[in-house]
Amino acid sequence: MTYARIDTNHKEIVKALRDAGATVVSLAAMKHGCPDLLVGYANETLLMEIKKDAKAKFTPDQIDFMGKWKGGAVSRVDSVDAALRALGVIKKVL
């Protein structure tokens, strides 16, 4: 049996999103380039791809999925702050 690889920051990002009031479903086991998270917040639905750090790249399957996806953009998140910014709960400070 094969298992989907879960990034080390997956659990903390999911917890932070839920603590912010979002509904979160992990799609990580879906494979085939499917984003890691399905997130609902403030009557919006988001897809998030978790990466372990800022240097991590999308896989060819992920690039293919995003190229074919007819819904909204997939947010790339590598930290709790990035996930909360994608959710719109916090703003990026310049």
**Each residue's pLDDT tens digit, 35-74:** 999 999 999 999 999 999 999 999 999 999 999 999 999 9
| Mean pLDDT for the stretch of residues 24-28 | 95
93 part of a folded domain: no
**Length reported for the chain:** 94
Is 33 part of any domain?
Answer: yes
Domain holding 45, by residue range, is 10-87
Could you identify the residue written with the tokens 């049996």?
A: 1
Residues 66/41, Cβ–Cβ less than 8 Å: no
Give percent above pLDDT 90 in the chain: 79
Which pTM value belongs to this model?
0.88
- Given this model, what pLDDT does residue 1 score? 43
Residue 50 included in any domain: yes
How large is the average pLDDT for residues 11-24? 97
